[in-house]
Chains A and B, each alone.
Chain A
Amino acid sequence: MKERGNNVKEKKPEEMTLEEKLDEIERLTKLAEDKAEIANLFAAYQYSHSVILEDETPDRLYAQHQPDVRHDWGGGVLEGLDELCRYYVNRPRYRGKLICHAIGNPVIEVAEDGQTAKGFWIAIGHETIPYPKAPTLEGDGDPFGPRTEPPDKRGIRKIIHWVWNKYGVDFIREDGQWRIWHLRTCELMRAPYHQDWVDFSLRNLIDNDMCGLHTPWQGVASTPLNAMPTRPSDDPRGGYRIDEPPLELPRLPEPYRTFSETFAY
């Protein structure tokens, strides 16, 4: 593993001119600022996701000038701004729906050229959708979620899951602002509230059929709950499996000079 932090070969301070010293301080200050902005950006992404106000997410948070801007969540890939807009804009926002992925455990590496960065986080969280009747196949043909529990005594069907994820993110600087370029979401574990994830793994294949399409309570016009991806994921592995060891996915970022010398999420 490469040494973390500054890999630039530096002159000793006594060998540096005043200008060179200032240049170095400027570089280190910019590095600290970039890391803070990137941390804020990805936390803001999770904020938008948690309040399900994602109409502006493609324009405000994702890269605008990269044709390969994408989100790969294992179950599929959304690629290109048009596809991201198709998925995020007017996403269903039902009463009682709650999504939370609170990120921690950050590892952030900014390229020495300052043009790109990579980040890794773990998120602890949960996803909740209650609805009064069983989901049905409609529209884009989203599959019925096999993990919807049978109705409770009130007739309510619930998706109420603990969900822990890992994220690997490439960031790129556009017009002076950091933007999400490639986002890889890799599920760590998922389980209904009253079931542990070992049993859940045994009961269900961990795939992307989790959230069934369902009828909005209020007749709110919306896109299907999980609009179809652009294409399948190159590596759909993810999620807790009782029959597999933990996956080293996504990879942890390491210090790098310029993007051509590192991997892409």
Chain B
Amino acid sequence: MRLEERLDSLKRRVQAAKDRGEVANVFATYQYYHSLIYDGKTVEEIYAQHQPDVRHDWGGVLEGLDELRRYYVDRPRYNGKLICHFLANPVIQIAGDGKTAKGYWIAAGHECTPYPERPKITGPDGDPVGPRLEGPDKYGIYKFCHWVWNKYGVDFIREEGKWRVWHLRTSGMIRTHFSMDWIDFSLQNHIDDRLCALATPLEGVPSKPLNAPPTYPSPNPPQGYTIAEPVAPEPRLPEPYESFDETFSY
């Protein structure tokens, strides 16, 4: 191989190695912001800015930057609210052309929101009361305190030299209240996207409903653990590819 060809080849390969680390960092940062409930930063810093089909499908789909802003900006941030999705089991593929990437992760985690009075349905979006709210504990606190494990399939795209989340697919694996195993939880409740009840903010912080509605329903199968079905092989695992038109989209 001529020297120039060798240098070009090495440059591409080194860039791919660097890209892999950057893609991992981008998605870990997404989870960091999510855990702090600084999701407004996610829209500007993490999601693609120039792709009309930028989206997050978690069982409902948010599509387009305006819709992502509607959902994420000023998301309620209550005292005692805690979200954690700890990423593991990464499979990352950088396209041969270096323009896109795909990643798969499993996340082990939890979500909790405590509040002093039982949530009520309020607001124009009509978020339902979560059927999984326990009765008040001895302190009078109503708790939503769940173990939550997810799987993620993510398409990334390079914009202006930076990697951005383009299509994000969140696929539930298990969800259960702390004091209940997920088999019982599956039997007790349908696993759908009405899990998170509207809560009255502790501090009277003006806010939108805890879970604003999606842009449209998800075309993908329903989520989460159910005793009634075998586990679904999704999201799909990414495999090596040359350019995005040769692979599937999350």
Interface residues of A (CB under 8 A from B): 18, 22, 25-26, 29, 32-33, 36, 39-40, 43-44, 46-47, 50-53, 93-100, 102-104, 123-126, 128, 130, 152, 154, 156, 158, 160, 193-194
B245 within 8 A of partner (CB): no
With A152-B184, A193-B181 already in contact, the answer to whether A102 and B108 are too (CB < 8 A) is: yes
Interchain CB contact under 8 A, A43 and B89: yes
A26: shortest Cβ distance to chain B, in Å? 6
**Interface status of B174 (Cβ within 8 A of chain A):** yes
B205 at interface (Cβ–Cβ under 8 A)?
Answer: no
Which bracket fits the contact residues of B? 35 or more
With A46-B106, A96-B229 given, name 8 new contacts (CB 8 A). Answer: A29-B13, A36-B20, A40-B91, A95-B227, A96-B183, A96-B230, A100-B149, A104-B89
A40 and B183 within 8 A (CB): no
Which of B16, B106, B184 has the most A CB atoms < 10 Å from its CB? B106
Contact A104 B88 (CB under 8 A): yes
Contact with A along B80-116 (1 / 0, CB 8 A): 0000000011111100000000001011100000000
| Chain B residue contacts of A26, Cβ below 8 A | 6, 10
Closest chain B residue to A104, Cβ basis: B88
A residues less than 8 Å from B202 (CB atoms): none
Cβ of B182 within 8 Å of any chain A Cβ, yes or no, is yes
Contact (Cβ within 8 A) A124 B88: yes
Please give the distance in Å from B8's CB to the nearest CB on chain A: 12
Q: Which of B89, B225, B231 lies at the interface centre, i.e. has the most chain A CB atoms within 10 A of its CB?
A: B89
User: Is B237 within 8 A of A47, CB to CB?
Assistant: yes
A148 CB to closest chain B CB (Å) equals 13
Q: Are B13 and A43 in contact (CB under 8 A)?
A: no
Given the known A-B contacts A160-B181, A194-B181, are A46 and B89 also in contact in the complex, defined by CB atoms under 8 Å?
yes
Q: Which residues of B sit under 8 angstroms from A44, Cβ to Cβ? A: 91, 237
Tell me, in angstroms, the Cα distance from A158 to B182 when the chains sit together: 11
A110 vs chain B, min Cβ distance (A): 13
B7, B91, B106, B228: the one contacting A96 at CB < 8 Å is: B228
Check B226 for interface membership: any CB of A closer than 8 A.
yes
